[in-house]
């Protein structure tokens, strides 16, 4: 089988989509070396990382790279070209992973990874340009994709609700897993957080943006402190996203600016240390396609308080405290209860490790390869060009 795989978001500044694509392509390269692979650092015109074309993260005798240096303008011309199959290397499977879906479909089977529809659920969670770009890609996938990979049962159900014309037999769930291979890793104490004691801080991981709900989390943290909670700092580990320009003013208004530590982007080793050494991992996201920070924290034994929203209960199982993400007081009370009860914290830590063990990249990669086989054995969807 010749597999063409979109690796456009797997560069140094990876977020959720990029981590999924990076770990998945590495897993299928490991377990199916008999296949041939064409990897595409430039894929479509929606997402472009200028550093990605010069990277070479995957290698092997059966790995080749497709177009590398396509700007947005050149990408439009490339994907509209008359020799698309030849330019892509004539793969049997073309797998899109960055929300973009081609308007002109190649002759190989087009597989599309669907993450979530958060950009439609609430307009305040993203920018207009991002919302339009994401919707265009997802909508086009419902017309042109032969098969869709959903990253959770919640995402699968949402896709079929929005696009009832897409056959439910051609959309399968393939779960992401942690990108960290070694569960015994201890990580590296972040340089920017010298003096931060192991076990003496609360943690939130994720881009600081409206959908991740850090405003309500910090409101809950302020109430927690006001009600006599242990004065451990709240660490927000992640870069600042969109529509959060006044977040520092928000913290000042709550009177907790000096208690909240914003790390910015952290390395993988630093993130492992934070997960392993936090008192609790707090993840109040309003909407997710999966919820990687929950799973990755659990892998390292982080006791978890998280959201009842969307896909996250699939990830957390019965190994976390699940709360309405809009209920600020409930979050404050859960923090108070957990910081006052070491036994409950330790029980959650043990349950977290067991729950994380249910997710394995080899299992997910095997499921994806089975989908590829089924796609090749099925007729291609007929799409009017």
Q: Among 10-14, 137-141, 329-333, where is mean pLDDT lowest? A: 10-14
* 375 has a pLDDT exceeding 60: yes
Task: Assess contact for 5 and 26: CB atoms under 8 A.
Answer: no
For residues 86 and 105, what is the distance between their CA atoms, to the nearest angstrom? 13
Q: What is the CA radius of gyration of the chain?
A: 21
| Cα within 13 Å of Cα(200), Cβ side | 8
Query: Which of 65-69, 180-184, 309-313 ranks highest by mean pLDDT?
Result: 309-313
For residues 29 and 37, what is the distance between their CA atoms, to the nearest angstrom? 8
Instruction: Report CA-CA distances (Å) from 73 to 10, 70, 78, 104, 266.
Output: 21, 8, 9, 16, 32
Q: Among 56-60, 76-80, 142-146, where is mean pLDDT lowest? A: 56-60
239-250 pLDDT, tens digit each: 887 667 789 999
* 52 has a pLDDT exceeding 70: no
Q: Are strands 171-173 and 202-205 parallel, antiparallel or unpaired?
A: unpaired
For residues 187 and 185, what is the distance between their CA atoms, to the nearest angstrom? 6
Q: Which residue has the higher pLDDT, 129 or 377?
A: 377
DSSP 8-state secondary structure symbol assigned to residue 291: -
Per-residue confidence band for 385, with pLDDT thresholds at 50, 70 and 90: very low
Q: Which residues contact 358 (CB under 8 A, 6 or more apart)?
A: 317
169-227 pLDDT, tens digit each: 999 999 999 989 899 999 999 988 888 989 999 999 998 888 999 999 999 999 999 99
Structure tokens at 345: 């914290």
Per-residue confidence band for 359, with pLDDT thresholds at 50, 70 and 90: very high
Task: Assess contact for 372 and 3: CB atoms under 8 A.
Answer: yes
Q: What pLDDT was estimated at residue 59?
A: 73
Q: What pLDDT was estimated at residue 350?
A: 98
Neighbours of 200 (CB within 10 A): 14
| Mean pLDDT, residues 37-58 taken together | 72
Closest listed residue to residue 295, CA positions, set 246, 335, 251, 355: 355
Q: Among 53-62, 167-176, 185-194, 253-262, where is mean pLDDT lowest? A: 53-62
Count H helices and E strands in the chain, helices first. 14, 13
> Judging by beta carbons within 10 Å of its beta carbon (0-12, 13-18, 19+), is residue 379 exposed, middle or buried?
exposed
Rounded (10°) angle between helices 268-277 and 292-299: 70
User: pLDDT exceeding 70 applies to what percent of the chain?
Assistant: 94
86-105 pLDDT, tens digit each: 888 899 999 999 888 887 77
Sign of CA dihedral 276, 194, 236, 333: positive
Which ranges of the chain does DSSP label H, i.e. alpha helix? 16-31, 72-79, 84-88, 118-121, 128-144, 153-162, 214-226, 247-254, 268-277, 292-299, 312-316, 328-339, 342-356, 361-377
Closest listed residue to residue 363, CA positions, set 113, 176, 145: 176
For residues 59 and 49, what is the distance between their CA atoms, to the nearest angstrom? 20
Q: What pLDDT was estimated at residue 186?
A: 96
Task: Assess contact for 210 and 121: CB atoms under 8 A.
Answer: no
Q: Which residue has the higher pLDDT, 131 or 280?
A: 280
Q: Which residues contact 40 (CB under 8 A, 6 or more apart)?
A: 4, 5, 6, 7, 8, 65, 66, 67, 88
| Mean pLDDT, residues 80-85 taken together | 78
Closest listed residue to residue 371, CA positions, set 143, 146, 206: 146
What is the set of domains in the chain, with CATH numbers? 2-177+361-377 (3.40.50.2000), 191-356 (3.40.50.2000)
* 56 has a pLDDT exceeding 70: no
Q: Give the residues across from 262 on adjacent strands.
A: 236
């Amino acid at each position: 089988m010749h597999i063409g795989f979109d690796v456009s978001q797997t560069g140094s500044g990876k977020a959720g989509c990029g981590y999924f694509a990076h770990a998945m392509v590495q897993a299928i390269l490991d377990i199916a070396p008999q296949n041939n692979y064409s990897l595409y650092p430039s894929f479509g015109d929606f997402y472009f990382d200028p550093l990605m074309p010069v990277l070479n993260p995957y290698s092997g005798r059966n790995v080749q790279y497709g177009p590398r240096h396509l700007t947005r303008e050149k990408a439009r011309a490339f994907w509209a070209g008359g020799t698309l199959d030849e330019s892509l290397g004539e793969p049997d499977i073309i797998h899109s992973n960055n929300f973009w879906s081609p308007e002109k479909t190649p002759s190989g089977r087009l597989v599309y990874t669907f993450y979530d529809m958060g950009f439609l659920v609430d307009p305040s969670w993203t920018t207009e340009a991002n919302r339009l770009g994401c919707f265009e890609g997802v909508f086009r996938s419902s017309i042109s994709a032969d098969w869709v990979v959903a990253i959770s049962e919640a995402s699968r159900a949402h896709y079929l609700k929005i696009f009832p014309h897409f056959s439910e037999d051609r959309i399968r769930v393939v779960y992401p897993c942690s990108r960290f291979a070694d569960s015994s890793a201890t990580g590296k104490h972040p340089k920017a957080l010298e003096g931060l004691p192991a076990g003496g801080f609360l943690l939130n991981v994720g881009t600081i943006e409206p959908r991740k709900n850090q405003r309500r989390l910090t409101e809950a943290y302020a109430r927690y402190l006001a009600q006599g909670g242990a004065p451990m700092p709240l660490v927000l580990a992640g870069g600042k996203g969109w529509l959060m320009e006044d977040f520092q003013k928000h913290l000042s208004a709550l009177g907790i600016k000096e208690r909240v530590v914003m790390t910015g982007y952290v390395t993988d080793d630093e993130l492992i240390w934070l997960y392993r050494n936090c008192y609790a991992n707090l993840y109040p996201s309003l909407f997710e396609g999966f919820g990687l920070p929950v799973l990755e924290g659990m892998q390292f034994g982080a006791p978890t308080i998280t959201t009842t929203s969307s896909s996250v209960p699939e990830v957390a199982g019965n190994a976390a405290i699940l709360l309405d993400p809009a209920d600020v007081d409930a979050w404050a009370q859960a923090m108070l209860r957990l910081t006052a009860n070491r036994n409950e914290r330790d029980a959650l830590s043990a349950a977290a490790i067991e729950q994380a063990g249910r997710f394995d990249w080899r299992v997910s990669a095997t499921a994806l390869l089975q989908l590829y086989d089924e796609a090749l054995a099925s007729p291609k969807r007929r799409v009017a060009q």
